[in-house]
Amino acid sequence: MVCPYVLVKLGMSKLTPQQQHAETFLRPSQGPQRVQIGKGTTFLPGKKDPSVAHLIDHVLEHGYVILPNIFTEAQVSAAKKELARLEALESSGPASQGGRNRFEGFETKRIYALVDKSRVYDCFAIHDTVMKLNDYFLQPNFLMTSFHTVNIGPGSKAQEIHTDDGLIALPRPRPLMGIGTMVSFDDFTAENGATSLIPGSHLWDDDRRPTREEMIPAVMPAGSMAYFLNTLWHSGGANTSQKPRRSITIQYCQPWLRTFENFTISMGWEDLDQVPKRLMQLMGFSTHDFMGYVDGKSPRAGVEMRKKRLIEWALKEKEKERQSKL
């Protein structure tokens, strides 16, 4: 059987003797290892951990893979309880009571800046299997770009069909910029708005446009994950059931890309020590080579520098106020 996806090694012109000169600083990403899948996606394959090789092959062929029950009942139950607490608070953000546009979904509640609001969701962002899959599809030091709950209420219409790299104006085949994931807190069904996706659409060129008829629902039990390349066409589904479809989406991106959510600011700096180290790195408190530095040091060191300056400033302001009252 002919495999529907083809890993094509993209040719790189051989280096001239001058380029091979010791003075030339070539990074691994400038080497000849980039591959193309179909007409839609190119990427630099990373380490293929044998324990996830079958999952990688599924993603290469279909653009996504379902990871059933990768989270425990306890994790899912804590996530739902915390969601009820957060959604009851007005301070939970501008889309926590309903979306502000068709894309967010008027009947869909989203809680952004989750890293700042709760520690219950940390475990969903750093699952070992997901890290291993990302190690293959993304470059080392990949980041988290998006991390928020998605609660599609009864009566919600289907979301607009999109790819998560749609903001990036590059033609297909284009470099893989990131990975999308949806984690189900409720069973995802065709009726309650399971994420809809078009298998194989990561292989398409720009001339092919998606249609609703080509979509399939990512049906999966609560505690599962749909993992997909962000060149894959997908959308939230319509919820025709009587109950909400609760979930969290976590997206990851290449280490050299601007992230959707600016996690280094959305997280309160006073609480940074409570965040797992791996998550901190994913949030951008890290560097990629020297990309992301603060005054030549790590962003974490930069935060301490800013905190010190803020404290000094606050003390001076307090002293000024005291003096003015004398």
Binding mask 153-182 toward ligand AKG (x if CB under 6 A, else -) reads: ------x----x-----------------x
User: Is the CB of 92 or the CB of 239 nearer to ligand AKG?
Assistant: 239
Measuring CA to CA, how many Å separate 13 from each of 10, 18, 41, 44? 10, 14, 21, 17
Angle formed by the axes of helices 128-137 and 53-62, to 10°? Answer: 60
Helical (H) or strand (E) element with 83: helix 73-87
> Per CB under 6 A, which of residues 231..290 are in contact with ligand AKG?
234, 236, 249
Measuring CA to CA, how many Å separate 172 from each of 67, 232, 271? 28, 12, 41
Distance CA 32, CA 193 (A): 42
Burial 156-175 (b: 16+ CB within 10 A, else e): bbbbebbbbbeeeeeebbbb
225 binds ligand AKG (CB under 6 A): no
202 binds ligand AKG (CB under 6 A): no
The identity of residue 171, as a single letter, is P
User: Is the CB of 202 or the CB of 234 nearer to ligand AKG?
Assistant: 234
Judged by CB under 6 A, the residue of 55, 143, 144, 150 near ligand AKG is: 150
User: Is the CB of 135 or the CB of 164 nearer to ligand AKG?
Assistant: 164
83 binds ligand AKG (CB under 6 A): no
Binding mask 103-142 toward ligand AKG (x if CB under 6 A, else -) reads: ----------------------------------------
- Chain residues in the site for ligand AKG (CB under 6 A): 150, 152, 159, 164, 182, 195, 234, 236, 249
